[in-house]
Chains A and B, each alone.
Chain A
Amino acid sequence: MTLANPSDFDGNLQPQGWLRYFSFSLDHKVIGLQYLVCGFIFYLIGGALAGVIRTELISPISDFVSRETYNEVLTLHGTVMIFLWIVPVVNGAFGNYLIPFYVGARDMAFPRLNAVAFWLIPPAGILLISSYFIAGAAAQSGWTAYPPLSLTTPAAGQVVWILSVLLLGGSSIFGGINFIATILKLRRPGLKLMMLPMYCWAMLGTSVLVVLSTPVLAGTLILLSFDIIAHTGFFNPTMGGNVVVYQHLFWFYSHPAVYIMVLPAFGLVSEILPIHARKPLFGYTTMVYSIMAIVFLGLIVWAHHMFTSGTPPWMRLFFTIATSFIAVPTGIKFFNWLATLWGGKIALNSAMLFSCAFIVNFVFGGITGVALAQVPFDIHVHDTYFVVGHFHYIVYGGTVFVIFGSLYHWYPKFTGRLLNEDLGRLHFLLTFVGFNLCFAPQHWLGLNGMPRRVAEYDPAFTTLNQVSSVGALLMAISTLPLLINVVVTAINGKEAGDNPWNALTSEWLTSSPPPVENWHGEAPLVTEPYGYGQHQETKA
């Protein structure tokens, strides 16, 4: 691991050199791929943990792992998948790789801060996972770490968990500051905000949420660690503390966190659909304003996670209405995507299949989300598998599908080679069938009253749980064609050329993979990133 200073970047370091990806590189493209590969490793770890959960739930008794181990596994699964896979990849990986291209820059605004943000992640992840191997000491209170549960479970693991999440939160904040500065301050002359590709808007909105909400989680977890280490009583009812305050502060971050995970996916899908449907993105302006509306509304709906926490009726009413309102901008985006596809010359390749499946999955997760915002319904299904199903439809059926689609779409840009389409379609088929088989039955389980976060359940739920576990197995298998595909095509995949999709956005207007400073000459000014099927207004 060498510390590079800017003078090292005089072209001596080749982007193809493997060692660069293990160095403190300041190149946004290297950092983006560092995020991507690091995140994917954590996805495999989180997936293995999910495998343990689904294996345990094949039978109604806790026979595969003990109850305590089950709690540790589900805590690690949630934390790894959210903080080490989805947030770093959908923000850090694609954001770092694409945003400087989209704004016509040669790097992010603060390259050094960018590298620091990435290099906080591996230690935090190792810290988190190593806590499992300290016997009986891994965190057991779920990714929410609600007190008083988190105060009574083994303290060492909980404190390590807090430390890890604080590091990841810091990484996230540094990244957010960098994205805001890059998008607002580093645009090439002549590039106006309303000319930016939609992913820039999505990342701007996401970064605003990161900067406003993540520090609140950090502060809350610091108070929680005081409760554990110094025996203060902020959230300890036996010492006059207040657990509901923790919930409010936690969800003030963790509801926006859902948008931190899904808004960038909205942006990425808005890039992929027009290119493969050969049509302009429908309703650009409304897309921009719906992102702003989602950011604003996303900050004032957190208490819909707390309808059963003694929340007073007026507060329930407010949060129900505010939450339901989010369906409006989200619906606008949904119909805009459909209208983008409508009458297009659609190339149904792997990138497009994953993107279209995203629309299907996301609208289903969105509908159950609106249902969950209604107090009477929410009280019925609160803390049941219905919530688990809903959540996974958003973050897996939504974001992870888009991550996979984006991988097929931008892999030629990363490597100069195309991923194999047959393996890609197999990957899609297994993922789509496996995902729906795994999570759709959980809605029935939840409606019938199966609580979440339990290793044992009523034998009446056995069949549906087994169906769900078969789906999980398919999802596990679906990783194989992807891994084979990436390894094989990296060695002898089809040469992609600079612009295999005939795209107009600026990352495609340079060589693949791009040179260290992104452009061979001046950065191009792309005034109409979605001008497909019309006159081409791309000036180089």
Chain B
Amino acid sequence: MTSTTPLQDSVTIEAGHSPAGEGHGDFRLFGLATFLVADGMTFAGFFAAYLTFRAVNPLPEGGIYELELLLPTINTVVLIISSFTFHRAGKECRAGQLGASRLWLAITGGLGAIFLAGQMVEYFNLPFSLTDNLFASTFYALTGFHGLHVTLGVICIAIVALQTRQGGRISASDHFGLEAAELYWHFVDGIWVVLYGILYLL
């Protein structure tokens, strides 16, 4: 009953061949994509709740839907640019330019931090607080939940950037961590665009 070969882990599968010689590609990104579908459904539930509230539940006297547009629009642009800078970081990494990749990662992480700072400034200047009315609650829940994702993304970018240093886990041939962080970052950006549309423009 004893076996002489090591049990497969996703890492050994990624390395190419399993002990019995059945080759499988790297499906960790596939797994992450499946998770992001699930994560996206959480947002979909929030969006559905928000849109229904907005359609059915009238705001109390003095409640407002109108929001200051300038700061969130700048934030949106910042986040969209960060998607491109991350893409550039991935390209540099695949080309073996780990130094350049790290620079672009730092820029991406910086843009993410600017976004979070911008959101913080917006929170402090809003005329309503979490429990004021249904719109206020939904606004903070949606942007807060998204902000949590951005925070996690910035942390991931910092880790990935550290891993691109000499002797780190990421190299030109093995860069799953970077690709995973990139996929996640694009997802978070995409969610923000929808969120910006229904929360600020609608």
Footprint of B on A, CB under 8 Å? 6-7, 9-11, 14-16, 26-27, 104-107, 109-113, 173, 176-178, 180-181, 184-186, 188-189, 211-216, 218-220, 222-223, 226, 230-234, 239-242, 245, 248-249, 252, 511, 513, 515-517, 519, 521-523
Contact = CB atoms under 8 A, between A and B. Distances in A.
B60 to A, nearest CB: 6
A111 B38 contact: no
Interface string B22-34: 1111011011001
Interface of B: 1-12, 18-25, 27-28, 30-31, 34-35, 37-46, 48-49, 52-53, 56-60, 130-131, 133-134, 137-138, 141, 145
B186 to A, nearest CB: 19
A240 B41 contact: no
Given A233-B133, A242-B57, 5 more contacts: A10-B4, A106-B8, A220-B49, A242-B52, A516-B2
Residue among A106, A214, A516 with the highest chain B CB neighbour number at 10 A: A106
6 shortest interchain CB distances as A-B pairs: A9-B7, A216-B45, A185-B27, A232-B137, A215-B42, A11-B2
B34 A519 contact: no
Contacts of A111: 7-10
B3 A215 contact: no
Contacts of A178: 31
10 contacts: A6-B6, A6-B9, A107-B8, A215-B38, A233-B131, A240-B134, A249-B45, A515-B3, A517-B7, A522-B20
B45 A219 contact: yes
Contacts of A189: 22-23
Contact of B31 (A177, A234, A242): A177
Nearest to A10: B6
A239 to B, nearest CB: 7
B22 A188 contact: yes
Contacts of A219: 42-43, 45-46, 145
B38 A26 contact: no
Given A177-B34, A218-B42, A186 B7 contact: no
A146 to B, nearest CB: 15
Contacts of B20: 106, 519, 521-523
A214 B38 contact: yes
A27 B7 contact: yes
A103 B75 CA distance: 47
Contacts of B131: 230-233, 239
Nearest to B18: A106
Contacts of A107: 7-9
A107 B3 CA distance: 14
A267 B139 CA distance: 43
Contacts of B4: 10-11
A234 B134 contact: yes
B3 A110 contact: no
Given A111-B10, A212-B41, A216-B41, A186 B27 contact: yes
Contacts of A9: 6-7
A16 B60 CA distance: 65
Contacts of A245: 49, 52-53
B138 A234 contact: yes
Contacts of B28: 110
A72 B120 CA distance: 42
Given A216-B44, A239-B134, A242-B57, A177 B27 contact: no
Contact of B2 (A223, A226, A515): A515
A72 B72 CA distance: 46
B139 to A, nearest CB: 11
Contacts of A248: 48, 52
Contact of B24 (A11, A185, A218): A185
B15 to A, nearest CB: 12
A523 B21 CA distance: 10
Contacts of B56: 242
B1 A185 contact: no
A181 B137 contact: no
Contacts of A213: 41
Contacts of B2: 11, 14, 515-516
Given A216-B41, A216-B44, A223-B141, A249 B49 contact: yes
Nearest to A242: B57
B181 to A, nearest CB: 18
Contacts of B38: 173, 176-177, 211-212, 214-215
Residue among A15, A16, A516 with the highest chain B CB neighbour number at 10 A: A516
Contacts of B137: 226, 232-234
Contacts of A239: 131, 133-134
A480 B123 CA distance: 60
B180 to A, nearest CB: 13
Contacts of B30: 181, 184-185
A510 to B, nearest CB: 10
Contact of B134 (A176, A241, A521): A241
A173 B37 CA distance: 11
B35 A177 contact: yes
Contacts of A177: 31, 34-35, 38
